[in-house]
Amino acid sequence: MIVTSALIIWKGLMCVTGSESPVVVVLSGSMEPGFKRGDILFLHMSKDPIRAGEIVVFNVDGRKIPIVHRVIKVHEHEDTGEVDVLTKGDNNFGDDRLLYAHGQLWLHRHHIMGRAVGFLPYVGWVTIIMTEKPIIKYLLIGALGLVVITSKE
């Protein structure tokens, strides 16, 4: 019941926001005090051009985990409309060029998965605990299974 409704909400959000993963969990403290570890961000992927100040979620070649940081520089090319974007975490001292692939100076449109539009605190802790302490996940699944088996209705 809970699982099905969660799946329905997830798929519904996918349709509404047009982003392949409409929700991300903040995993690092690089955007503190705005976003803390365990907070949830709702993403939106629209055709609107990327502008400075927006908080974007991007993938870097050679890194598995996407990063949530703020755009601080934008250069939009006249002829192609392609954008060069530089990002920085609010809580980091320097910009993100050190995080990008070796020799990469700018992010481009295809690196960006979406921009953050909404915010919900703490809820992401559930997934962080599940992934970092898998024993709790198995205990939970076991307990639920036990309830299903022993219920008499």
Partner 1 sequence: MHSFGYRANALLTFAVTLLALICAMSSLSDNLNSPSPSSHVKVLNINWFQKSTQGNDEVSMTMNISANLQSLFTWNTKQVFVFLAAEYETPQNSLNQVSLWDGIIPSKEHAKFWIHTTNKYRFTDQGSNLQGKEFNLTLHWHVMPKTGKMFADKIVMSGFSLPVEYR
Q: Which residues bind partner 1 (CB under 8 A)?
A: 33-35, 51-55, 70, 72-79, 81, 84, 90, 95, 116-121, 147, 151
| HSE-CB of 139 using CA atoms within 13 angstroms | 6
Q: Which is nearer to partner 1, 3 or 62 (CB)?
A: 3
Beta carbon of residue 64, minimum distance to partner 1 (angstroms, whole number)? 26
Strands 23-25, 40-44: pairing is antiparallel
The question of whether 75 is a catalytic residue gets the answer no
The question of whether 108 is a catalytic residue gets the answer no
Beta carbon of residue 74, minimum distance to partner 1 (angstroms, whole number)? 4
Options 21, 28, 77, 96, the catalytic residue: 96
| HSE-CB of 132 using CA atoms within 13 angstroms | 8
Q: Tokens in use for 32?
A: 């503190």
d(CA 118, CA 44): 9
H or E element in which residue 43 lies: strand 40-44
Beta carbon of residue 17, minimum distance to partner 1 (angstroms, whole number)? 13
The question of whether 39 is a catalytic residue gets the answer no
Catalytic residues: 30, 69, 96
